[in-house]
Structure 1
Amino acid sequence: MKMIELEKLLSVSYQGEKSLAKIYMPNEIFSDLIYCDELTQGKKSSDKLSVAYSYTYLCHWLYWTCKWNADYKITQDDLKQILGYSRDNKTLLPIIKENGVIDQLGYTLKTTDYPVEYTYEDGYLDFITIGDLKKSGYVDKSHNDRNFCIKYPLKAFHRTTESLNVGDLDGTFYEVGNTHHVPFEVFLYCMSKDDLGTIGFYLYSFLSHKCDLYGKAQYSRGRFVGESGVKETSLNIYLKALEKYNMIDVDGQDFVFDLPEHLREANVYSVNHYNQFGARWYTRKPRAILSLETYNEKNGDKKAIKAIKVDELEALPF
């Protein structure tokens, strides 16, 4: 969808240059998703993982901003279209339907009691729902929207099963420890680009989370695939797209033939602010492909010693 269509459908409102909501996602969502066999097994696993993450993120935003029924009633078909799929797509249903994958993982829950307003006073967040209005008489109880269902973002209110059982509000709407924040502008930008979509958004969010932890993210392709769950073919395509739109920077390391695996340096990734997004005006210099001999000549004697094969290293007298 085009940006203007997304903003209209989602009733997006801005305050200055920033959208009104600041959504925090639980860090454990990445491990929860990649260890879910329903998402990682079989074909299209990269698509399924990224849809599950993006759908969950969107459900958080819709609830916090009370946009489920603002200018438009947002339906499951609308959500599929927002995520870049046709409205009649059936392949997403096992992930997003009631008691589907995301519900089973404890991230969302189907309900007809949608939020209409929120208040934030003295550091306390509270939501007024359609059910509250009916009980108080502000909305006629005969108001018929029983067929309109939303997804309640469970972990936004209760982070664990224990807190849910006792009613503690320790979810990401209330406590932001061990979370990551990705601006909604990033979501809109990715969904408006055919070559980014949910996989682009998922990878940007993954790297943003890692950069929060370590400043920059240093990953070999094998480790990147293992921790993100995105297949290598898709990873190559979407990392290039993220870099093309200046959403990430990549410090690529030279490839050296016959260099021992434990001495190879991984690429270093960093994420850019959404105000910097757009067609990159420069092209990153491609990484060099070197022979071991050339690598030694280029890096001098000290680094040449590092490049000696392991079996030769054991024979050295020091």
Structure 2
Amino acid sequence: MSDLLLTIHNTSPDSRGKEGKSYITKKQGILSKLGYLRKEGDYPISYDYYTDEYGNTDYNFVDWHMYSSQNRLTGVFDKPRAKMINFPVRGIYGDEQSERENEVTGYFYRFENTTEVDINTFIFCMKHSDIGVVGFYLYSFIKSMNSYFGGEYNSPIEQLVVNTGIKSTKLSEAITTLEAHNMITNSHSTFVPFLSQDKSIPANGYRTLNRTQFTDSRREVEVRKVMSQAAYERTGGRYLYEDSSIEENDDDELNDLPF
């Protein structure tokens, strides 16, 4: 699924040329090229849940009633206006083998690792030009990681660049923007450049906030502290925010980063 997100994110909807993609869902669009959608002339028109002989309903199993299986002579179902529909291939089947064997292993049936993003969050991002598509994508990515790790998502900027496909400068800008609109929190862990491999410091921790907590106006965002190796050694490995005397006495060895 991450490959799909990266492909969509890094493809301009206005791209042209031999490898250009003008649409996401339409014919020859991104999802079609990746095999996630396929044009078909049949589709479900109703459904039932499986019920055993004792009247117990199992909502994990859905019995779909397809248009092609109905008696069209009865006139109960009108002829569809659209002759072809987008069949969500990977929503039903996880891969080509499961489709050949008719095993429903797609995303619709493996929802335990999916993340729900409210439509109002999307609208909020589109309404604010400084957030936009990149901000919505990054917010959704962080939220999915929060769910996956069961809380805060810790990651250095370099790894976030690899995982999201967003360039470093743009990524730092997007993180600041999301925090400014109160969409995420950022731990702003102190950073020590060129620290030896036998020592480590925690990476920034990110958490997403709910739509009701977002703010239309930008608020001031905290900056990340950078500590020199010399100051780090004098604290015995403790961080700047744990000892205010270090901040007061070593101003010449401290800098701020906007992420």
Identify whether the pair has TM-score above 0.5, normalized to the shorter chain.
Answer: yes
Could you tell me how far apart the structure 2 residues matched to 1:279 and 1:120 are?
43
Deviation readout 1:45-102 (Å, 9 max, x if unpaired): 8542xx7xxxxxxxxxxxxxxxxxxxxxxxxxxxxxxxxx68xx75542754434442
**Higher helix share goes to which structure?**
1
Mapping of residues 63-212 of structure 1, within 5 Å: 92-93=21-22, 96-113=25-42, 122=57, 123=59, 124-125=61-62, 135=72, 137-141=75-79, 144-146=81-83, 149-212=84-147
What secondary structure sits across from 1:270 in the alignment? Answer: strand
- Are the structure 2 counterparts of residues 130 and 235 from structure 1 closer, same or farther at C-alpha, using a change threshold of 3 Å? farther
**Following the alignment from structure 2 to structure 1, what is the Cα–Cα distance between the partners of residues 103 and 47?**
19
- Are the counterparts in 1 of residues 94 and 107 from structure 2 also a CA contact under 8 Å? yes
One-letter amino acid of the structure 2 residue matched with residue 108 of structure 1: L
Contact 1:258 1:291 in 2 (8 A): no
**Pairwise CA RMSD:** 3.5
How many aligned residue pairs are there? 225
* C-alpha distance in 2 between matches for 1:238 and 1:225: 12
Q: Write the deviation string for residues 265-317 of structure 1: whole angstroms up to 9, x where unpaired.
A: 321111112222223775332112332233344xx23549xxxxxxxxxxxxx
Q: Deviations over 1:203-245 (max 9, x none)?
A: 1221112111212111111111111222223212222222222
- Given residue 205 of structure 1, which amino acid in structure 2 is its aligned partner? S
Question: Which of 213, 216, 227 is residue 148 of structure 2 equivalent to?
Answer: 213
Normalised by the size of structure 2, how large is the TM-score?
0.69
* Residue equivalent to 1:295: 232
1:47–1:198 Cα contact (<8 Å) kept: no
CA contact (8 A) 1:246 1:280 kept: no
Q: Distance in 1 between matches of 2:71 and 2:21?
A: 33
1:219-238 pair list within 5 angstroms: 219-238=155-174
Structure 2 segments unaligned to the other structure (5+ residues): 51-56, 240-259
- Partner secondary structure for residue 246 of structure 1: coil
Which residue type is aligned with residue 213 of structure 2?
Answer: Q
Letter of the aligned partner of 1:137 in structure 2?
A: G
Secondary structure at the counterpart of residue 224 of structure 2:
coil
Pairwise CA distance, 1:251 = 0.9
1:240 and 1:168 map into 2 onto residues whose CA distance is 44
Match of 2:250 in 1: none
Confirm or deny: 8 A CA contact 2:180 2:219 kept in the other structure: no
Identity, % of aligned positions: 27
Q: Report the alpha carbon displacement of residue 163 of structure 1 after superposing the two structures with TM.
A: 2.3
CA 168–192 in structure 1, closer or farther in 2 if over 3 Å, else same: farther
AA aligned to 2:211 is Y
Higher RCO, 1 vs 2 (CA within 8 Å, ≥6 residues apart): 1
TM-score calculated relative to the size of structure 1: 0.58
